[in-house]
Amino acid sequence: MSTVFDIYLSFPLTPNMEQDFEKLYKACGSIEGVELAFNMEFSCGNGLYLSDIEDDEELLGKYDGEVCTNSVPRERNDGKEFRANKPYRFTIKYLERDEELVYYLNGKETFRKDSN
């Protein structure tokens, strides 16, 4: 197994972390890809998350499609918010035997997918 991506980020993002966040975004292909791979959900602003407003047409209509990195993300499973200003380690490894990418948050496996 070889490491293909390894970076530390804390939230809210500081200006010097924006480039690193962009690298994470590119490694996963999209914000949705980051959220899926690391079992997290970014805020869409004002302390709200997309899953909070997806059934509210008025609030959904105000959503501009951008994530708010000035807020802390939360876990998708239980909604527990990440701790502010705590470094989180985002790692992607390639498992040659199975030709899979394996995603880790702070050393804990969060997702697997075919590398093809």
Q: What 8-state DSSP symbol labels residue 64?
A: -
Distance (Å, whole) CA 39 – CA 17: 20
Residue 11 predicted with pLDDT over 90:
yes
What is the model's pTM? Answer: 0.88
- Output the pLDDT for position 49: 85
Work out the angle at residue 68's Cα, subtended by the Cα atoms of residues 114 and 60, and round it to the nearest 5 degrees. Answer: 90
Cβ within 8 Å of residue 76, ≥6 positions away: 35, 39, 40, 41, 51
Residue 100, beta-bridge partner list = 95, 114
Q: What residue spans define the domains of the chain?
A: 2-114
Per residue in 29-80, pLDDT (tens digit) is 998 999 999 999 998 887 788 888 777 787 767 666 788 889 999 999 888 9
Cβ within 8 Å of residue 23, ≥6 positions away: 5, 7
Distance (Å, whole) CA 37 – CA 81: 17
Distance (Å, whole) CA 51 – CA 41: 9
